[in-house]
Amino acid sequence: MNLFDIVGPVMVGPSSSHTAGAVRIGYIAKLLLNENVKKAEIYLHGSFRATGKGHGTDRALIAGLLGMHPEDERIPDSFQVAKEQGMQFSFEGIELRDAHPNSVLMKLTGVNGRELEIEAASIGGGRIRISKLDGLEANFCGDYPTLIVHNLDQPGHVAEVTSMLAHKSVNIATMQLYRDRRGGDAVMIIECDKEVPPESVEWLEKLEGVRKVTYLSLIEKQ
């Protein structure tokens, strides 16, 4: 907790968890999709569902998906901006299992056809946590460059990924491993202290046994 978590963030109201956090969820989801969003199916859970409309949570999520930050003054008009950019979106209520009260599930399709399913929660003060990616468990906050590798649960993949990072002098801050069952789908989520080079991400995508690589880069793209 630093001073500017207390005085700050600069944000568009009314609620740091229902508005600022929702923008950030949308924003991180767009970065993870790594292309502009063409279609978004959005499912609101708990308090997001109950008071989301009054707090502008719906407009905030769309603003984030359009690449806006929590302080962007266009947030209240994000539906209009989305329309102008040809982004389709829909909202529904949902009852998610074991989810934080401020949670949302989003099914996204990008303009180049890439798909991403993300479940995330706004955990207070504008901070967020991504709790599921493409149906598999996850737990990261989007504050670090994050590498997410979906692979078959078989020996060697963790070593391949970590030795690549070592070779590129990328220090690992945190690392999590999940799988649905032995020999099934597995995912590793690695938060890094610096950016992973794009060619290394591409190299990972081509490895046998690797199903999907999602990379959260914090470098702003135009």
Partner 1 sequence: MSFKSLKEIVDSVREQKKPFWRIIMEDDMSERMVSEEESFGAMKRMYDTMRMADQSYDEKLKSASGLVGGDGWQMREAVAAGKTMSGAFIGEVMVKALKMGESNACMKRIVAAPTAGSCGVMPAVFLTYQEQYGVKDEKMIEAMFVAAGIGTVIAERAFIAGATGGCQAEIGSASAMAAGGLAYLQGGTEQEIVHAAAMALKSLLGLVCDPVAGLVEVPCVKRNVIGAVNAITSADMAIAGIVSRIPPDEVIDAMRAVGIALPSSLKETGEGGLAATPSGEEFTRRMMEEQ
Beta carbon of residue 160, minimum distance to partner 1 (angstroms, whole number): 33
80-139 positions binding partner 1, by CB under 8 A: 124-126
Cβ nearer to partner 1, comparing 33 with 66: 66
Look-up of token digits 């996850």: 138
Best CA proximity match to 185, nearest among 137, 220, 114? 137
Beta carbon of residue 114, minimum distance to partner 1 (angstroms, whole number): 31
Stretch that binds partner 1, among 1-9, 28-36, 148-156, 178-186 (CB under 8 A): 1-9
Alpha-carbon gap, residue 167 to 68, rounded angstroms: 34
End-to-end CA distance of the chain: 30
Q: Which residues contact 16 (CB under 8 A, 6 or more apart)?
A: 9, 124, 125, 126
Cα angle 212-213-218, degrees, rounded to a multiple of 5: 150
Per-residue x/- track, 52-71, partner 1 (CB under 8 A) = -xxxx--x-----------x
Cβ nearer to partner 1, comparing 77 with 134: 77
Site residues (CB under 8 A) for partner 1? 1-20, 47, 50-51, 53-56, 59, 71, 73, 75-76, 124-126
